[in-house]
């Protein structure tokens, strides 16, 4: 077997897992309005079980909906009426040989009064979380004991529902974490003060579950081994905590990190290297004999297998990897590494308020909607103009349905704007996506013509059932005085090295990931770079903590950053800016680079509609600036194409699973 360590059986307590791959708990917002399990939720988890995962830990589940609600559609196990739904979920997963835990959670101070119907949030002590901004009320001693019992009863209900074990969420700044951390536990009663007293809350929960459910019912605990916050949980303290947790009967430890004040460490952007958190699990594994689970930007089977081979952890948890590809485990087991759709850490799945979703896997959270493809039996040709992410995704889906697909790409390589990312760690992840789609084009026998402008005559020779225009976007150049000057260019000129800019004084105007890549590249080339950061649509898609990380790195590279200004005009040797007080000033520049996002490039639609009956425009050509929109558009158009063509050709159709 290629990955013998990854696919070796493993135990948590007396429970045997078929492999060492775990899908950790991630919120989905797929539960019902009252916290009940839904069919959509079952379909979402079943897809991952069918994909070969050894253990699925179901998303954080409320044990106290009155004072411990963490999300609008959070799953619940605080009353007996939720047992049947959890039981249905367990049955759906068990038939694939997958084990299932439920993560029991209370947010403590990391929620809001609006979620609690106006009730004040609670915590071990009245210490405000800066990220939340609401002062919590200190729990009374009696309330603490009541919450302990709610955790125990939640576990008992899970056991009655056929769940194999539970995970206590003691990480990410939630209530158990708050009791453990000296930063947030300032109590003077039996639950605060000394180390033993700060451990008492979680100890009573673990011992209570073991007493109620039996010693053989597994209990794992997720820990923030390092909160990355002064005075909080850190590695030395977590080592001591871990030894104590083993002593009281905990069956496994899940080594995570961060809290809401260090969110960028909890949910990493593409600026973090693969497996950067493994050292945390390795540190804990040296202290205990129970299994240790590692997590954090683990994407490749070879990388995961080596973690186990080197003895740094006992199990590999991959969250967003399972969003991007529910068949990750199955493909790795069968040696189909090139077919794995690796998460690119774009953070689309973290967008507030939405159901769980994924920029590169449209089916995530929509498994019931896209349950089956309509497989055609007769020959049908589809022409796609443009080989960016949207065009390739449309080609992939159409090919899986039995269409013969031809892509015409005017450049010498596929993937369009994805090729323009240059920051090393971000480029690595973009390359994963490019490699996946390129491999799929080859595997599915898509006919790709590079360096080819698609003429009407050329497309006509295919007698196409439909034509899809995925011609992408072009850089935005704002209508400013001086934008025609010879020293003005756009981000493509820099990233494609159309212009050699070395040891120059350069002003870059814009925001967003491509903009930051441009600035970084120019700085690495020895230029004196000033970023005039102006709001753009692409800039708005960068999360605040990702932007903060990038800005700090740019400043370390001696990039000057100017915020809160408007550009009024360009001069041969300067950029004129106006600040918030209306004052004008000049920023000296040998060259000016615009990186303000993109606008649709759709020059063919009118012409093609004169010659072809079924023409569809997708991706950046209609809605620029987002990988998410491009892939979503390509997938959806390909999925429903038989329903939206003008002439529906009669054919025998058979259904196949996606």
Distance CA 609, CA 617 (A): 11
Tell me, what DSSP letter sits at residue 25?
Answer: -
Taking a C-beta distance cutoff of 8 angstroms, is the pair 265, 228 a contact? yes
Residue 9 CB neighbours (<10 A): 10
Tell me, what DSSP letter sits at residue 273?
Answer: P
Ramachandran area for residue 603 (φ above 0: left; ψ -120 to 50: alpha; else beta)? alpha
Distance CA 472, CA 389 (A): 9
How far is the CA of 476 from the CAs of 543, 596, 623, 626, in angstroms? 22, 6, 14, 14
| Beta bridge mates, 563 | 533
Catalytic residue among 44, 174, 491, 608: 174
* Helix residue ranges, H only, 465-592: 491-495, 513-524, 537-540, 544-556
Taking a C-beta distance cutoff of 8 angstroms, is the pair 21, 299 a contact? no
Distance CA 29, CA 59 (A): 9
Distance CA 323, CA 451 (A): 34
Burial class of residue 586 in the structure, from the number of CB atoms within 10 Å of its CB (0-12 exposed, 13-18 middle, 19+ buried): exposed
Handedness of CA 453, 455, 457, 458 (dihedral sign): positive
Which residue from 463, 315, 260 is spatially nearest to 10, judged by alpha carbons? 315
| Beta bridge mates, 586 | 576
Q: Where does 361-503 show beta strands of DSSP type E?
A: 372-376, 381-385, 404-408, 447-449, 466-469, 473-475, 488-490
Residue 174 annotated in active site: yes
How far is the CA of 555 from the CAs of 88, 425, 512, 561, 562, in angstroms? 53, 18, 16, 8, 11
Burial class of residue 419 in the structure, from the number of CB atoms within 10 Å of its CB (0-12 exposed, 13-18 middle, 19+ buried): middle
Distance CA 165, CA 58 (A): 11
Distance CA 193, CA 87 (A): 40
Residues in the chain: 658
- Catalytic residue numbers read 174
């Amino acid at each position: 077997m290629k990955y013998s360590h990854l696919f070796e059986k493993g135990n948590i307590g007396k429970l045997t897992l078929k492999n060492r791959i775990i899908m950790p708990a991630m919120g989905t917002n797929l539960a019902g309005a009252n916290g009940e399990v839904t069919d959509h939720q079952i379909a979402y988890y079943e897809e991952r079980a069918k994909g070969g995962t050894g253990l699925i830990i179901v998303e954080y589940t409320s044990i106290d909906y009155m004072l411990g609600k963490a999300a609008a559609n959070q799953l619940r196990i605080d009353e007996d009426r939720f047992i049947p739904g959890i039981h249905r979920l367990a049955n759906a997963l068990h038939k694939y040989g997958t084990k299932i835990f439920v993560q029991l959670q209370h947010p403590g101070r990391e929620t809001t009064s609006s979620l609690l119907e106006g009730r004040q949030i609670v915590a071990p002590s009245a210490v405000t979380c800066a990220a939340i901004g609401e002062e919590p009320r200190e729990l009374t001693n009696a309330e603490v004991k009541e919450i302990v019992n709610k955790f125990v009863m939640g576990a008992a209900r899970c056991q009655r529902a056929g769940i194999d074990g539970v995970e206590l969420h003691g990480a990410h700044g939630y209530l158990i974490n708050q009791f453990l951390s000296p930063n947030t536990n300032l109590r003077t009663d039996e639950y605060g003060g000394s180390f033993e007293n700060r451990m008492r809350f979680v100890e009573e929960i673990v011992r209570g579950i073991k007493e109620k459910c039996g010693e053989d019912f597994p209990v794992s605990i997720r820990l923030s081994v390092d909160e990355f916050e002064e005075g909080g949980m850190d590695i030395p303290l977590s080592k001591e905590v871990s030894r104590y947790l083993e002593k009281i009967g905990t069956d496994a430890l899940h080594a995570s990190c961060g809290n809401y004040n260090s969110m960028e460490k909890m949910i990493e952007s593409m600026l973090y290297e693969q497996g950067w958190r493994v050292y945390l699990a390795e540190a804990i594994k040296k202290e205990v004999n129970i299994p240790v689970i590692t997590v954090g930007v683990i994407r490749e089977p070879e990388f995961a297998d080596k973690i186990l081979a080197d003895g740094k952890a006992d199990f590999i948890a991959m969250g967003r990897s399972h969003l991007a590809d529910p068949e990750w485990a199955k493909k790795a087991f069968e040696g189909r590494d090139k077919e794995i759709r690796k998460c690119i850490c774009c953070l689309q799945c973290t967008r507030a308020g939405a159901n769980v979703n994924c920029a590169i896997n449209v089916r995530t959270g929509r498994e019931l909607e896209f349950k089956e493809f309509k497989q055609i039996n007769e020959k049908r040709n589809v022409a796609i103009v443009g080989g960016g992410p949207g065009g390739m995704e449309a080609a992939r889906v159409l090919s899986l349905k039995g269409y013969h697909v031809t892509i015409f790409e005017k450049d010498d390589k596929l993937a369009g704007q994805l090729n323009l990312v240059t920051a090393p760690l971000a480029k690595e992840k973009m390359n994963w996506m490019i490699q996946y789609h390129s491999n799929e084009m080859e595997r599915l026998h898509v006919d790709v013509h590079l360096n080819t402008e698609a003429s009407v005559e050329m497309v006509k020779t295919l007698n196409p059932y439909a034509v899809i225009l995925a011609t992408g976007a072009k850089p935005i150049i704002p209508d400013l005085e001086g934008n025609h000057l010879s020293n003005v260019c756009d981000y493509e000129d820099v990233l494609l090295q159309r212009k050699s800019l070395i040891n120059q004084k350069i002003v870059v105007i814009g925001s967003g990931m491509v903009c930051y890549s441009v600035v970084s590249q120019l700085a690495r080339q020895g230029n004196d770079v000033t970023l005039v950061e102006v709001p753009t649509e692409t800039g708005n898609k960068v999360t605040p903590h990702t932007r903060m990380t990038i800005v700090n790195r740019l400043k370390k590279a001696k990039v000057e950053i100017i915020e809160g200004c408007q550009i009024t005009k360009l001069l041969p040797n300067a950029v004129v800016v106006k600040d918030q007080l209306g004052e004008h000033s000049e920023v000296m520049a040998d060259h000016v680079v615009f990186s303000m996002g993109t606008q649709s490039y759709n020059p063919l639609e009118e012409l093609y509609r004169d010659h072809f009956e079924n023409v569809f425009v997708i991706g950046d050509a209609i809605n620029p600036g987002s990988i998410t929109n491009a892939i979503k558009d390509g997938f959806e158009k390909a999925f429903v194409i038989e329903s939206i063509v003008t002439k529906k050709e009669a054919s025998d159709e058979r259904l196949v699973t996606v």
